[in-house]
Each structure stands twice: as structure tokens, then as C-alpha cells.
Structure 1
Amino acid sequence: MNSVLYRHGDSAVHRARPEIKIVAAFLAVLCVVATPRTAFWAFGVDALVLLIVWTVATVPLGWFARRALIELPFVVLALLLPFTGGGERVAVLGIPLSVDGLLAGWNIVVKGTLGVLISLTLAATTHPRDLIVGLQRLRVPVLLTTIASLMLRYVEVIAAEARRMRQARLCRGHDPRFLWQAGATARGMGTLFLRSFERGERVHLAMLARGWTGTMPMPPAARAGGSSWLAGLTPALVMAAAGGCALWTV
């Protein structure tokens, strides 16, 4: 099971227990969201913590920068808020901008960026298979972990099927650059959905024939000790301390 986000490594971050990293990422996102938007120094602390984690994990900064571009639509929205917001206005380079709009745009950009980077950090240092195991150890409902596991296992199969269908259309003269051929693309997506549904039915019947009981097997492992939890949660605890101080001083 390969992943376009996972980067193989042997750092302390890679070797940490997946359930600890999942809890740490979840707590870190909560801390970022709860931090007041005017606590600029607290967001600086959060970014510094992430930089330290990346350094330990030996994941280059450019890797995160390229994949963080997924949030560009939200950045565009945030850039419009200073011009469309109401309330008090301030002149920046001779352009009147809304103070509330500036703060709202900053809030969206900084929290969205940090949230995306935290998620990318978890994905880059934890194999998808280990993520499922971590969720199982955290007692996440069996139905959710089963769906996630099957999705990760067969997403590449569906992607390969989509590539074959696209290649077949191109061999028959289809050119997706023309607007009037959007209908063929839409029909191809519908066909892919039906094929995926039928494949899922066949896989489910095959699993039942082999004694499927509704639960994914979980590899045996010793429980994580207190020192492992403390080490893994340290970045999130630092973010929590920064956010707590920011809330206290507001």
C-alpha cells in the first residue's frame, strides 16, 4: 500500500507509535484553532515547533511547501476580506482596508496553513497502514477503520482503472481540452463509479466467502509507555502552552 504523502525514514518521528502521533496531531490542530487571532507570537511558536519536528524527521521544507498549495482557494478568499469587510478602515499603501477584514483574513490563512502543515507532517511520517493500526488502538469504531482500510487498499486500483478509461477515450479521438467533450468525461466518471461499486460488491462477497467477520485484524503490540506518550505529545503540549498563555492575556 503506497502513499504519495508518506516519506520513508528512520527518524524518531517515524518510529513513534502511530496512535501517539494521531493524538498529538489532533491536539495540535485544536490548539491552533483555539488560539486568538491577535496572538501573533503564539502562531510563531507553533510554526517553530513544526520546523523542529521537520528537522528531526529529516523532511525538507520544500516538500511541505509544494503540498500546502492545496489551500490556495482559501488564501484567495482571505485576500478578498480586507477589501469587502466593514467597520474601521486603515490605509495600506494608499488603499483603504477593513481592520476586521484584515484580521479575519489573517485568521483564515494562519490557522488553515498550520492545520494543513500539521496534517501533512502526520502523513509524511506515518505509513497509511500504521494510521489504520493507530486508529484501531485508539478504539475508533470498527466500521470507520474498516472503511478507511479498504479505501486505502483499493484507491490505487480505482485510479489505475480511471487511467485506463482515459487512455481508451484518447485512442478513440477524445480530446478533453474541448468544452463540448465534457459530456464524454462526465459519462466516463459515471461508468467508473458503477465499475467501482460492482468491484466493491465482488470484493465483499469474496471476503464473506473467506470467513469475514466484520473486523480488521490488528497486529499484536505492547501498550505504549508513559515516556513514549510524553515524548510524542511534547510538540502538542508546547502549542497548548502557547495557546493557553495567549488566551490568558486576551
Structure 2
Amino acid sequence: MGAGHGHRLHRPGDTPVHRLPPHCKLVAVLCFVLAVVSTPREAMWAFGLYAVLLAAVAAVARIPPGFLLKRLLIEIPFVAFALLMPFVVPGGRTTVLGVSLSVPGLWDAWNILAKGTLGVAASVILASTTELRALLLGLQRLRLPPLLVQIASFMIRYGDVVTDEMRRMSIARRSRGFEARGVRHWGVLAASAGALFIRSYERGERVHLAMISRGYTGTMPVIDEVAASRAQWSSAAALPVCALAVCLLGWWTL
């Protein structure tokens, strides 16, 4: 896969969670999310237990609460959508602080917020304890289609390149006295976006030709294999197994 690339989501460390093979953590997070999604929304206590489980994993991984909470802000658009549901979903009504709200809408909003927040938190913990390169190796180990793995790999590798190109274009505009202050400047920004697309496409073509000239045949070489022992699989399974138990108990208590 080549050299690893750092990312602001990753928090280096030497904890039991960091040392788990990436494919074990990927399977564990996927199974945990499936258990959360399968939990009935009426079992509100179950989501509290899921949060406790994630907090325990974060504590073992030595992830500060502030670090985790700051990165949960990515779900703000979903929070805004959920907050609208009590006002637009039809059904029975109830009054909260003098405001008439839809009962089904309140349940739907709770369902989205609870399950979405837990899913994002689990993903943030995974990204915080696993390097991006290791995640790609884990996906490859799990037999994900090679083409999808390569696309993800190139996105990670060249995302910073495109961002740096945008930064240089922004500096060039400012050095010529340009500042976007209104609608009349949208044309310049649109032209810049078009130029960025062309530059990125041309760079991609050059990179592809360089890869072919060096023997690229459609598959990327694997630098190392990440094996997992039975003990590591058992450790990774602790989270989804506990989540499954909570999910089953949630259905049983309805």
C-alpha cells in the first residue's frame, strides 16, 4: 500500500485497542453498529448502555472525552434534520413547553439521534486507534473488492494534494487583490473550481501514466500481511457480543 499517511483523526498510542489488527476492529465496529440499529427505539435504557460500552473502550484506548466529543460535531447536519421531525411528521400531537409536537416525530428524532451518535462515536474511536493505511490493509484482509480498496487508497493519498492545490489557488487570488464579498464574485469562484477540476484530472492522468510505466497492472502490492490470533479476535468480539446481549434484552423487555 505504500507509506502511511497521518490524519488528524488518528491518535497514536500503545493500548490494547491500538494493538488489535485493523480487520478485527472493522468487524467489531460493524457488528456493534448493526446491534445498535437493530435495537428498538423504545428501549431507551439500552442506548445508555451502548454509550457506557463505548466510553469503556475509549477509556482503554486512552482517548480523552474532549477529543471524542469535538469529532462528534460532524453529525450536526443530522442533528438539525432530526430536530425538524417533531414539527413535520404527521400523527398524534403532544405539548412540550407550550409547543405542539408530533409524537411519532419525537420518536423518530430520538431514534436518529441515539443511533446516529453511537455509530459516529464508534467510527471515531476506530479512526482514532487505527492508521488510515492500516484500515486499508484491514479492508483488503477482509476481501473487500480490490477496486474499492484502490479507490479509497487514492482518495486518501491525493486528498491532501488537491487541498494543497486549492490553497495555492486561494493565495494566488488574494495576491492579486481578490476577496470574495458577494454574489458578484461567484463567477470567479466557479472558474477557480473548474480550473481545480482540470488540474486534478490532469495530475491524475500523469500519475496513472507514471504507475503504468512502473509496471502497474491494476492491483496494488501488499507490503505486509496483518494476521490475527484467536485471542485478538476474542478481544475484538467483546464489544459486539455485549451490544448483542443488550439488543436482545431490549427486545425481550418490550
- TM > 0.5 between the two? yes
What TM-score results when the alignment is normalised by the length of structure 1?
0.95
In the other structure, the counterpart of 1:111 is 115
1:150 Cα deviation after fit:
1.6
* CA offset digits 1:191-241 (Å, max 9, x no partner): 111111111111111111111122122233363122111101211111111
Unaligned runs of 5+ in 1: none
Match of 2:170 among 151, 166, 177: 166
Distance of 1:227 and 1:39 partners within structure 2: 32
1:65 Cα deviation after fit:
1.3
Aligned alpha-carbon RMSD (Å) = 1.4
Match of 1:6 among 10, 14, 34: 10
Match of 1:102 among 94, 100, 106: 106
In the other structure, the counterpart of 2:192 is 188
Q: Is 2:182 aligned against 1:178?
A: yes
What TM-score results when the alignment is normalised by the length of structure 2?
0.94
1:55 Cα deviation after fit:
0.4
In the other structure, the counterpart of 1:150 is 154
Q: What amino acid is aligned across from residue 113 of structure 2 in structure 1?
A: V
Match of 2:27 among 10, 23, 29: 23
Distance 1:241 1:177, change over 3 A: farther
Distance of 2:90 and 2:145 partners within structure 1: 45
Q: What amino acid is aligned across from residue 49 of structure 2 in structure 1?
A: V
Distance of 1:63 and 1:90 partners within structure 2: 37
* Percent of aligned positions that are identical: 49
* CA offset digits 1:29-61 (Å, max 9, x no partner): 111111111111110111001100110111111
Distance of 1:189 and 1:243 partners within structure 2: 47
Distance of 1:122 and 1:74 partners within structure 2: 20
| 4+ aligned runs moved over 4 Å, structure 1 | none
Q: Alignment partner of 1:196: what SS?
A: helix
Q: Is 2:184 aligned against 1:199?
A: no
In the other structure, the counterpart of 1:93 is 97
* CA offset digits 1:54-78 (Å, max 9, x no partner): 1011111111211211211221221
The number of aligned residues is 250
Deviation larger for 135-144 or 171-180: 171-180
In the other structure, the counterpart of 2:213 is 209
After superposition, residues 12-91 of structure 1 pair within 5 angstroms as 12-91=16-95
Distance of 2:216 and 2:122 partners within structure 1: 35
Distance of 2:59 and 2:85 partners within structure 1: 35
Q: What amino acid is aligned across from residue 59 of structure 2 in structure 1?
A: T
Q: Is 2:228 aligned against 1:224?
A: yes
Q: Alignment partner of 1:176: what SS?
A: coil
Distance of 1:185 and 1:155 partners within structure 2: 20
Unaligned runs of 5+ in 2: none
